[in-house]
């Protein structure tokens, strides 16, 4: 197995010492193949081993020379992380390299590690095995990185994006897929913006906790002489490929962009999908059902065509090496005309579909049209509902196929009615369900809704301040709304004012808000020890992974609250919060707790997985903390102490070692064992 791609904390510490660098995030890039990293050989593009990684070093935009010249090893060779036991797919054939983006205008730097899979694959060669591999590697290193980027060919990118959307369950970090129509090293390449934008979204702390796709060049014209170019970030389960050669190769026909990368990065937080209820820890589900198919309705289709696809298993038998395998289609995506229509006069087709439905085959109806969805507005469309076909509304064909494969693989939902109910619901934001109480339910009025949102908020503040004006042609009111709302939300969270938080959520549609210090309302509720406000904010989808400008996450706020609560800390841990034990800030705070003799706070750090035995934690014996439950020294401290002992006091029943082991056996067991084992293996003490 290859060494870990985890970025070493020493490199992060070095980056933070560079002037103007205020914060650092870590991104894992999985390079599966595709045009973005290809080399031109004899007039055609092809994948060349290690070419992408080696050439990227020559590009200052992607590799800051200030850090690349350092002698610090960028990768952790071993880690005591409790997550290190997760298996990845990395082998000796894969290549790993770490790079640093230049510091941005906010003082933030992104360190990213690229894992180049080998062999590199054209996206048309990707299958479910490759989807599994990507999901497994994201899972293996999930807690060591802040975000993930998948570099992918364009042909099947829409399928992979949908597959990862369903495979990655309870996702609370950004995963961005991107690629290019021209290699990133080519003059005029779209890969430059695509890759850079994906890194900025994945490592920029925007809390877009979805599988998304960023693809270059959406051009609009405010006036003939001033074109506006921006890069849209789409939900992965909403995209389709619309061009084989244009730079704007992907569109999201039925859902607006979650974010837009122009002169500024604008995130529409109210469009981010949030699963109702408390978040659950991240996990993966990779065993998708492969017994699914796509059936296109066309004027010349025959009954035999449908029957041959939906026939019972006896007609799908074939032999390999003497063994009989049974093939049976369990789910079908039915691509119909217009708003979901099928020839209602073709009773033979309807009977074939009804027979398949009666046998438990799950069928979902999507439109062949590029934009729009299935609606029962014509009798020819309504008839399919009566024959057991589930409406897919505005789902893409790619998303519908993967959703079928996902639902059919869920063993806990064996009942046909349960599976059909899952098809009707939005699991990853892949479908707009009719009657859904959300702004996305009327996407054609999206821009008007943005205006109405500001107006509704202004009305809300008018009730509070008794002064406001809806006539805001200059945008001054909206500007103040955007500044005041995060402050009010943070104040409401700090005071445990649930009614105010609920009112704001009803108006805005989300509470992922940031004050001037980068704090979210979740930071405030955790800092002030409010369990009910924290729970509500988590249910509203506020991320537990966001760090403010000082480096504090909500978990770290809870650990340093004046009102310590193990219940609050455990709540954050249960939804996936992780303590970065290697950060300088955490080490400093632990030192302070030791110096204060704050046993309760130290026990909470231990609950979060902090290891007091780590040799990286240099805590002196002179801290004055006399508590046998908390080891506050390292191997070096013990060695210095033993070397300074008077040998005349070391032996006998009243000797120092005997007294220490009697009174502090639990504490001393680990460090003394470590000292002995290392010394013994290094021939520093006589072998017995």
Q: Which residues are catalytic?
A: 35, 154
The two tokens of residue 332 are 């079908």
Dihedrals phi, psi of 675, to nearest 5 degrees: -60, -45
Residue 598, CA distances (Å) to 5, 591, 594, 606 in order? 36, 10, 6, 13
Closest CA to 199 of 271, 267, 114: 114
- Which phi and psi angles does 632 have, rounded to 5°? -120, 30
- Give one DSSP letter per residue of 490-510, joined into a string: HHHHHTT-HHHHHHHHHHHS-
Count of alpha carbons within 13 Å of 630, Cβ hemisphere only?
A: 26
Judging by DSSP bridges, how do beta strands 23-31 and 108-116 pair with one another? parallel
Q: In what order do the strands lie in the sheet with 331-336?
A: 292-296, 331-336, 362-367, 390-391
Give the whole-angstrom CA distance, residue 151 versus residue 126.
Answer: 13
Residue 31 β-bridge partners: 116, 151
* Largest Cα span, the chain: 105
Residue 258 φ then ψ, to 5°: -70, -35
75 - beta bridge partners?
Answer: 7
End-to-end CA distance of the chain: 35
Give the 3-state secondary structure of residue 305. helix
What does the alpha-carbon distance between residue 50 and residue 45 come to, in Å, rounded to a whole number? 15
DSSP 315: G
Q: What is the DSSP letter of 337?
A: B
- Residues with Cβ within 8 Å of 277's Cβ and at least 6 positions away in sequence, in order, are 539
Query: How many residues in the chain?
Result: 688
């Amino acid at each position: 197995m290859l060494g870990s791609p985890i970025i070493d904390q020493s490199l992060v510490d070095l980056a933070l010492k560079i002037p103007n660098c205020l914060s650092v995030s870590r991104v894992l890039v999985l390079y599966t193949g595709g045009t973005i990293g290809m080399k031109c050989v004899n007039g055609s593009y092809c994948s060349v081993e290690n070419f992408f990684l080696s050439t990227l070093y020559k590009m200052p935009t992607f590799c800051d020379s200030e850090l690349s010249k350092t002698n610090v090893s960028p990768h952790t060779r071993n880690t005591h992380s409790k997550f290190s036991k997760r298996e990845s797919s990395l082998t000796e054939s894969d290549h790993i390299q770490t790079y640093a983006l230049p510091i941005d205008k906010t003082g933030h730097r992104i360190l990213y590690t690229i894992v180049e899979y080998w062999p590199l694959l054209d996206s048309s060669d990707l299958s479910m095995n490759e989807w599994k591999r990507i999901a497994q590697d994201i899972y293996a290193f999930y807690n060591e990185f802040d975000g993930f980027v998948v570099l992918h060919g364009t042909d099947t990118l829409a399928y992979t994006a949908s597959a990862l959307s369903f495979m990655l369950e309870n996702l609370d970090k950004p995963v961005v897929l991107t690629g290019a129509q021209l290699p990133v090293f080519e003059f005029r390449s779209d890969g430059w913006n695509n890759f850079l934008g994906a890194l900025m979204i994945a490592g920029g702390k925007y809390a877009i906790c979805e599988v998304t796709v960023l693809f270059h060049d959406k051009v609009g014209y405010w006036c003939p002489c001033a074109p506006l170019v921006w890069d849209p970030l789409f939900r992965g389960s909403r995209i389709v490929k619309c061009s084989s050669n244009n730079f704007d190769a992907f569109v999201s026909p039925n859902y607006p962009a979650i974010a837009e990368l122009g002169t500024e990065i604008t995130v529409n937080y109210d469009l981010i999908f949030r699963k109702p209820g408390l978040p659950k820890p991240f996990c993966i589900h990779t065993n998708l059902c492969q017994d699914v198919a796509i059936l296109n309705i066309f004027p010349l289709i025959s009954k035999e065509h449908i029957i041959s696809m939906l026939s019972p298993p006896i007609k799908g038998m074939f032999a390999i090496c003497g063994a009989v395998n049974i093939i049976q289609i369990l789910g079908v995506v039915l691509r119909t005309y217009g708003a979901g229509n099928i020839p209602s006069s073709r009773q033979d087709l309807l009977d074939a579909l009804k027979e398949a439905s009666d046998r438990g085959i799950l069928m979902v109806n999507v439109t062949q049209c590029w934009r729009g969805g299935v609606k029962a507005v014509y009798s020819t469309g309504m008839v399919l509902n009566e024959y057991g076909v589930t409406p897919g509304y505005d789902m893409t064909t790619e998303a519908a196929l993967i959703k079928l494969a996902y639902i059919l693989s869920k063993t806990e939902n064996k009942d046909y009615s349960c599976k059909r109910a899952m098809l009707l619901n939005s699991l990853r934001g892949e479908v707009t369900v009719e009657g859904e109480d959300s702004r996305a339910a009327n996407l054609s009025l999206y821009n008007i809704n943005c205006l109405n949102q500001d107006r509704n908020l202004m009305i809300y503040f008018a009730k509070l301040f008794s002064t406001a004006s809806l006539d805001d042609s200059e945008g001054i009111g909206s500007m103040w709304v955007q500044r005041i709302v995060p402050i009010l939300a943070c104040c409401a969270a700090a005071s445990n004012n649930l009614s105010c938080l609920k009112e704001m959520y009803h108006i805005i549609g989300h509470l992922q808000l940031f004050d001037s210090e980068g704090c979210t309302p979740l930071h405030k509720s955790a800092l002030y020890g409010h369990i009910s406000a924290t729970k509500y904010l988590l249910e509203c989808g506020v991320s537990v992974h966001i760090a403010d400008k000082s480096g504090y996450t909500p978990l770290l706020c809870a650990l340093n609250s004046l009102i310590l609560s193990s219940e609050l800390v455990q709540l954050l841990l249960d939804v996936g919060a992780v303590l970065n034990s290697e950060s300088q800030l955490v080490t400093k705070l632990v030192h302070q707790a030791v110096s204060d003799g704050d046993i309760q706070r130290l026990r909470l750090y231990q609950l979060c997985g902090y290891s007091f035995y780590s040799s990286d934690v240099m805590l002196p014996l002179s801290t004055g903390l006399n508590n046998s439950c908390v080891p506050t020294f390292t191997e070096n401290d013990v060695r210095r102490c033993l070397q300074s002992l008077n040998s005349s006091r070391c032996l006998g029943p009243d000797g120092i070692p005997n007294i220490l082991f009697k009174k502090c056996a639990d504490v001393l067991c680990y460090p003394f064992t470590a000292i002995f084992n290392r010394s013994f293996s290094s021939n520093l003490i006589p072998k017995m």
